[in-house]
Amino acid sequence: MKIYKIKTFNKLLLTPILLISLLCNAQTTENRKYDVAAYVWPSFQPDDRAKIFWPEGIGEWQSVMHDQVKGEHSPRKPLWGYINEADPYVSEMEINAAADHGVNVFIFDWYWFDGMPFLEGQLDNGYLKARNNSRVKFYLMWANHDVNLTWDKRNAGEKNDALIWQGAVDRVQFEKICRSVIDKYFSQPSYYKIDGKPCFMVYDLDVLIRGLGSVTKTKEALDWFREETKKAGLKGLYLQLAIRHSGSNITGLNSDNIGTQEDIVKQLGFDGVTHYQFAHFTNIDRDYNDIMESVKNEWDTVGKKYQIPYYPHVSIGWDNNPRFKMFRPGIVKNNTPENFEKALIAAKHYADLHPNQAPLITINSWNEWTESSYLEPDDKYGYGYLDAVKKIFGSGN
pLDDT band, residue 17 (cuts 50/70/90): very low
Report the alpha-carbon distance of residue 46 to residue 57 in Å, rounded: 5
* Distances in whole angstroms, Cα of residue 247 to Cα of each of 96, 280, 302, 305, 364: 39, 12, 9, 10, 22
pLDDT band, residue 160 (cuts 50/70/90): low
Q: How many residues does the chain have?
A: 397
Is 2 inside any structural domain?
Answer: no
Is 43 inside any structural domain?
Answer: yes
pLDDT band, residue 8 (cuts 50/70/90): very low
355-385 confidence digits (pLDDT tens): 999 999 999 999 999 999 999 999 999 999 9
pLDDT, average across residues 121-128: 98
Report the alpha-carbon distance of residue 237 to residue 160 in Å, rounded: 39
Rg (CA), the chain: 22
The boundaries of the domain holding residue 344 are: 35-393
Is 25 inside any structural domain?
Answer: no
Cis peptide before 214 (omega within 30 of 0): no
301-353 confidence digits (pLDDT tens): 999 999 999 999 999 999 999 999 999 999 999 999 999 999 999 999 999 99
What pLDDT, on a 0 to 100 scale, did the predictor assign at position 22? 39
User: Mapping DSSP to helix (H, G, I), strand (E, B) and coil, where does residue 58 land?
Assistant: coil
pTM of the model: 0.92
Is 191 inside any structural domain?
Answer: yes
82-113 confidence digits (pLDDT tens): 999 999 999 999 999 999 999 999 999 999 99
Using an 8 Å Cβ cutoff, are 105 and 358 in contact? Answer: no
Is 85 inside any structural domain?
Answer: yes
Neighbour-count burial for 334-343, b at 16+ CB within 10 Å, e otherwise: ebbbebbbbb
The alpha carbon of 331 is separated from its chain's Cα centroid by a whole number of angstroms, namely: 20
Higher pLDDT, 228 or 396: 228
Phi-psi region of 303 (alpha: psi -120 to 50; beta: other; left: phi over 0): alpha
Report the alpha-carbon distance of residue 25 to residue 8 in Å, rounded: 26
Report the alpha-carbon distance of residue 311 to residue 314 in Å, rounded: 10
Strands 105-113 and 35-40: what pairing? Answer: parallel
User: Mapping DSSP to helix (H, G, I), strand (E, B) and coil, where does residue 294 land?
Assistant: helix
* Distances in whole angstroms, Cα of residue 196 to Cα of each of 137, 146, 193, 233, 314: 14, 32, 5, 11, 25
Report the alpha-carbon distance of residue 130 to residue 88 in Å, rounded: 5
- Dihedral sign for Cα atoms in the order 166, 167, 168, 172: positive
Percent of the chain with pLDDT over 70: 91
Closest CA to 246 of 310, 314, 202, 203: 310
Is 6 inside any structural domain?
Answer: no
Please provide the DSSP assignment of 121-183 as one string: HIIIIIITT-TTGGGSEEEEEE----B-GGG-TTTTTTT-----B-----HHHHHHHHHHHII
Structurally, the chain folds into a number of domains equal to 1
Is 153 inside any structural domain?
Answer: yes
Q: Residue 219 belongs to a domain with what CATH number?
A: 3.20.20.80
Please provide the DSSP assignment of 323-364 as one string: G-SS------B---HHHHHHHHHHHHHHHHT-TTS--EEEEE
Q: What is the mean pLDDT of the chain?
A: 91
Is 19 inside any structural domain?
Answer: no
C-alpha torsion angle, residues 356, 358, 364, 365 (rounded to 10): 160
